[in-house]
């Protein structure tokens, strides 16, 4: 069954939170950070869009975005120091795809939908160097590594979308 790609709504908060938590570093996944229903709800209330993939009524993938002035998290600040990007650039991520759905072109579909919504503006993202699979997946979509930074003794690459 193919996925439906659409913008997230507040009705998706619980499923998005479950997906993020299941793939977080705390649970053995590669997703950097911690995730709560309140945090995800706050992200969905921002003016910048969030895109989800739905399979059989279940959120199986999510890609967040934010305006650069709406994000104050330490990794984003470090990324912007390493590579500030264009003045109208937006923040890409986090992105998370359920393990059962990886390799099914969902990342490409999510990115395409979000880039269309962003009218061709530059997107800035960071990926932990310990997540080469994600780095390669983004490189396959034509996203170059433009900088690197270290935060809390972890190395990250900065890429542009």
Q: Which domains does the chain have, with CATH numbers?
A: 4-160 (3.40.630.30)
Over range 30-40, report the average pLDDT.
Answer: 84
Calculate the alpha carbon distances from 87 to 15, 83, 91, 112, 121 in Å.
Answer: 33, 11, 12, 21, 10
Q: Is the torsion defined by CA of 24, 26, 28, 33 positive or negative?
A: positive
Output the pLDDT for position 5.
98
Pick from 82, 152, 72: which is nearest to 124 by CA?
82
The residues facing 63 across adjacent strands are 51, 95
Query: What are the pLDDT digits (tens) for 91-148?
Result: 999 999 999 999 899 999 999 999 999 998 999 999 999 889 999 999 999 999 999 9
């Amino acid at each position: 069954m193919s996925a439906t790609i659409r913008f997230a709504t507040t009705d998706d908060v619980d499923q998005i939170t479950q997906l993020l938590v299941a793939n977080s570093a705390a649970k053995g996944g590669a997703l950097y950070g911690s995730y709560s229903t309140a945090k995800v709800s706050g992200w969905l209330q921002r003016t910048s869009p969030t895109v989800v993939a739905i399979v059989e009524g279940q959120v199986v993938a999510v890609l967040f975005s934010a305006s650069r002035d709406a994000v104050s998290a330490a990794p984003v600040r470090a990324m912007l120091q390493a590579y500030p990007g264009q003045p109208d650039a937006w923040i890409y991520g986090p992105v998370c795809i359920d393990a059962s759905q990886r390799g099914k072109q969902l990342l490409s579909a999510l990115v395409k939908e979000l880039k269309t919504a962003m009218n061709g503006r530059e997107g800035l993202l960071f990926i932990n160097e310990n997540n080469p699979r994600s780095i390669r997946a983004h490189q396959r979509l034509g996203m170059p590594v433009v900088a690197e930074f270290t935060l809390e003794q972890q190395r990250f690459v900065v890429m542009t979308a």
